[in-house]
Amino acid sequence: MPRRLCSSDPARGAERVRGFTLLEIVVVIALVAVITTTLAVSLTGGLDGMRVRTAVKEVAAQLRFARARAIVSGQAQDFVVDPQARRWQGAEGRSGELPDGFDIVATGAREVQPTEGVAAIRFFPDGSATGGRIELVRGEARWRIDIAWLTGEVRLAAAAGDDA
């Protein structure tokens, strides 16, 4: 008959049953909570950065489209940004909104500014533009779009000092 190895076995004497103490379990749970919280905080910053990059890429693509339409059609095309309404309007009636929680700073030429507080950038048939800058900020993520006046080139860049 096989022998049982437990504390009630009189031939072996009292043996200690191995396992985890309550203190060890509480420490592990606390470590998991700290790691999860740290990961959640870092992912939130990463999600903000991703949202800003996505919005910036969309606006830049629409700016490039407006420039291309001006060249192809031979007619000037305007790109208008309303920071208060978080809206933009581009060539051929294209328009869009930026998600809530974004701060927008837009600078354009005063000559083509439709109303106070609204920025406009005009692209000409030769590819040039009035120039300007659009900056999108959400949390720590900050990106800007620069439009060169001479060439109409649209450039994206993380704003200075940020790791967006």
SS3 of residue 121 by DSSP: strand
pLDDT at 19: 85
Q: How far is CA 4 from CA 12, 14, 17, 20, 22, in A?
A: 9, 12, 13, 22, 27
The string of pLDDT tens digits covering residues 19-51 is: 889 999 999 999 999 998 888 767 766 676 777
Residues 15, 3 contacting (CB under 8 angstroms): no
Residues 136, 59 contacting (CB under 8 angstroms): yes
The string of pLDDT tens digits covering residues 57-115 is: 999 999 999 999 999 999 999 999 999 999 999 999 999 998 778 889 999 999 999 88
Burial class of residue 84 (count of CB atoms within 10 Å of its CB; 0-12, 13-18, 19+):
exposed
pLDDT at 164: 44
Six-digit token string for 147: 């439009």
